[in-house]
Structure formats: structure tokens, C-alpha cells
Amino acid sequence: MTNPHSLYLHSNLFTTGGIPSIFHLRDLQHFDVSQNQLSGGIQEQLGTLNDRFHVDVSRNNLSGNVPDIWNNYLLVDGNFSHNKFNRTLPSSICSDLPSCSIDLSYNSISGSIPREFGRLQYINLSYNLLSSYVPSEVYSSFPHDILNGNRELLGPEKIHKGSKKIQKGSKSLLKIIIPLTIFLVIIFVVGFVLFESFKKHKKSISKARKAKNGDLFSIWNYDGKMAYEDIIEATEDFDIKYCIGTGAYGSVYRAQLPSGKIVALKKLHRREYGNTVLAKSFHNEVKMLSEIRHRNIVKLHGFCLHNQCMFLIYEYMEKGSLFYVLNYDDEAKELNWSKRVNAIKGITNALLYMHHHCAPPIIHRDITSNNILLNSKMEAFLSDFGTARIIDPDTSNQTILVGTYGYVAPELAYTLVVTEKCDVYSFGVVTLETIMGRHPGDLILSLSRTCTESILLKDILDSRLPLPSQKDAGDITLLVTIALACLNPSPKSRPSMQQVSQGLLSSNLPLAIPFNNISIQHLANEDMPMIQ
């Protein structure tokens, strides 16, 4: 291999030595050797590329210095988590590169955190051996859970400095405490009178709040000031203990409001407030969710769009995202076959409503397992409408490429014309992911080859669940048949969501052949649905 663009060697059993220099591979942009058994260190310079670079060496046994390899690239995304790096952090990491994201979690890195890290796009330092105070540049730029698991950290720098001021103030106070005692006695009576007056005033405000609280979550009668105060109080100004999830651009918080209602808050990171693209995405999500209503689309209760604080208030989903549930064994086992079938049917209903019952139609453009939320009953709800778009029949509907890698319809790479069939393709990927318990990337690649004839349906099912019962087997076979039809490379050959919904009505019909004998090639060649 002289000049590959991407090099994927993950999930193997490589054990010998560390990672060699690949400086001669000048066009390499993706380097993935994660989930192996590599030991040793990483050379200070992996390459001399002048373009973007994505590297993933996570889940190995690498040790020594954290490599300082980022300054030769325009855009870097590096995952060095779950290794044994055990030295201090170099302050020069990405010193000239603000668009840099690095995950160094679950290592044994010691020492202090360089304040230069505050300029990065994202950094994860959780579960290491870091110590000393957290620089204010880092503490104010990222969600606080990036520092979880570092028991020797002493808190943010500003608190440390503030405590010194308090100590000095206490010494000064002791010098004048006696004269002040006389003054305090004099003002005590006045203070008591003012306190009683304030108490009465507070009670009147509380009554007014309770009277309006019924309209707090109505987006049409939205009282931004009251909602903002309630949110700040319920989350203690977005304290990390209320954070239930975080991403590159924002964090999600759980909040219980004065009425007792529990909501979820998606808040943009402070460093992103000036990002016009993300602000537009937030505005778009508010617009979309305030105009559409469906039982399988997450409900937007309220919002705050301000240049200093941006958050959306959603219906709270107890189980989190479908991606989260599928990636943890206990949760995945709780999501049994019948619940998985029902979850897919719920997403079908949401897309059917958007594509065929909204005028003009709405296309989501980012359907992934991360954007499907599950409530306490494992019912599915479509969320995250930041990239959604209304289809205008009088325009070409050409757009920039948006979406998540691995879920985007292949035609968008060369036409950039968005249609409902783009959502249909993503729906097919999510359906297979739900049935398989993992992303179906390898299976999708094999569909273009002849080897699928030897792949049995029962062998691709999520192995954490027992083989399905007779009833569930029919439903699963039907869903996989529909999913394969949705993944047709030709958009015109894919079914519409209306056809998918009609096809699901055949779920109670018997299979044409025994379940254990059904191959993927058989289902790919069948018309939807495959029944007698």
C-alpha cells in the first residue's frame, strides 16, 4: 500500500509492538487500529499530512507519552481512549489548531491540565489521574463530565482564587468585628422589618407563578422569563450533576420543575453561542417541532434562544437513545424482539406523518439510532429536527450534504438533491441496526456482492437475545425484508414510507419457508413483504 486514503484495521488481534510511523502516506485521512492488543508507544509524528486527519487507536494497551501529532493538519479527530498512557499532557497539543477534537479518557495520564486546551473544539479527559486545579479556560469551555473520574482534581481555578480572597477578608473582618457588633445591633430591627415585608412580597409572587404554571409548557403561551427562572432553579444553573448526556456541541440535562414535571433540556455549549450554523439549527428545530404534532415525535415544551444562553425543553425520555440501549447489554436485553418491532413501527408512523400527512412534506435528513429516543415503556420517538427541511415542489431542493456517516443515502454524495427517499434509506439502516444490535455497515457492503446467499437471517440477529418465537420470527423477517428494500441503491426503487406502513400490516401472516433456512440473499430478492 503506497498511498491509501483510509486504513481500517480495527477489531483484530494485532499485538506486536507499538504503532509505526506512517509519514510516507501523504494522502491518509482515516487511520483506525482500535480494539486490538497493541502495546508500546506512539511516535511523536505519525505523518506529515497537510489536510484533515482522523485517528482512532482506542481500546489497546498503548502506554508512554501522549503523542503530540496534531499540528501538521487542518482538522483532527483523535480517539486515544481506553489505553495506558501514563505521562503528563503536552501543552502544545493542537496549539495552532482550534478545530481539534481529542478523546483521552480512560488512561493513566497524570499531572495538571494545560490551559491551552481551552482553545480545542472538544477534549475528553475523564477517568485519568489528573491533579491540581482546572484552568478556567477549560472549565468554562466544555461540559464538566469531561473531567469525571479524576479524583485528585481540586476544582476550577476561579474557586481556588476566590477562597484565598475569602481567607484574607476573614482576617480583615476580625480586626473590625467589635465596632461592627454595635452597628449590627442597630440595623437588626430595621432588617427584621424589611425581611417581613420581603416575605409577604415573595408569597404574592409565588401565587402568581402557580397561577401561570399551567401555561409554562405551552409553546403558544410561552413566558420566556418565567421558564428561564424555573430552569435555572431546577438545574442549579446547569450543574453537572443534572447532566445526563453530552456531545460535541451541547449537553442534555434532566430537570424537575416546580409543578413536579420532569423535562429534558438540550443546551448549546457556551463556546458555540457565536456559531451561526448551530444557532440556525436551533431555530429550525423550534420551528419544525412547534408546527408538527405526532405521538411518535418528541414533544417540544419550550425554548430559550438568546445570544448568551440557548436551550430547548423537551418531553423527558427515561431510557435515552436507541443507540445507548443497543450498546449496553442489560438495556439491550430489556428491549426484546416484540419491543424492537414496536419501536420500528413507531418510527414508521412518525415518518409516514412527516412525508405524507404534512403539507408540504418534511424530511428529517438525520435519522440515526442516536436521534430515536425511548420512554419507560420502550416506545420510540423521533427527535433532533435541527437539519429537517420542508420540501418545496417549485424548487430543485438541492442542499448541502448533512446527516451522519453510515446513515446517509448514497445518492446525496453526488446529486445533493434531498427527497423523502433519503429518509427511507436511513430508516432501513436503523431498522437493521435495531434487529442486529449493532450498525449493519458490513452487511450493507455485502449486499452488492454474491456472498449474501450464504448469510442466514438467524445469524445476523442480536445474539444477546434468544431466537425469536414463531410470531416474532414473522415480524422480524418482514422488517428485514422491508429494510433491505429501503437500502436499494436506486432511490426510485425504494418503497415510500406509505408502502412501508402498508407492508407492516402483513406482520401476522405466516412465513413461506422455515425461519432457520431464510438467507439474506433470499430476502433481498423478494418483493416486499415475503409471505405466502
E-assigned strand segments in 433-475: none
C-alpha cell at 202: 415573595
Q: Which amino acid is at 445?
A: L
C-beta of residue 519 within 8 angstroms of C-beta of residue 456: yes
In the annotation, is 462 catalytic?
no
Output the CA angle 458-423-348, nearest 5 degrees: 60
Residue at 480: amino acid letter: V
Grid cell digits, residue 254:
434532566
| From 366, 384, 472, 475, active-site residue | 366
* Residues 6+ away with beta carbon under 8 Å from 153: 130, 131, 132, 133, 134, 147
Q: Which residues contact 519 (CB under 8 A, 6 or more apart)?
A: 452, 453, 454, 455, 456, 457
What's 398's DSSP letter? B
CA dihedral 452, 453, 457, 458 (to 10 degrees): -110
Helix (H, G, I), strand (E, B) or coil at 154: strand
Assess contact for 353 and 402: CB atoms under 8 A.
no
Distance from C-alpha of 228 to C-alpha of 308, rounded to nearest angstrom: 12
Q: Alpha carbon of 120 to those of 116, 373, 460, 463, 517: distances in Å?
A: 8, 30, 40, 40, 53
Burial 505-516 (b: 16+ CB within 10 A, else e): ebbeeebeeebe
Active site residues: 366
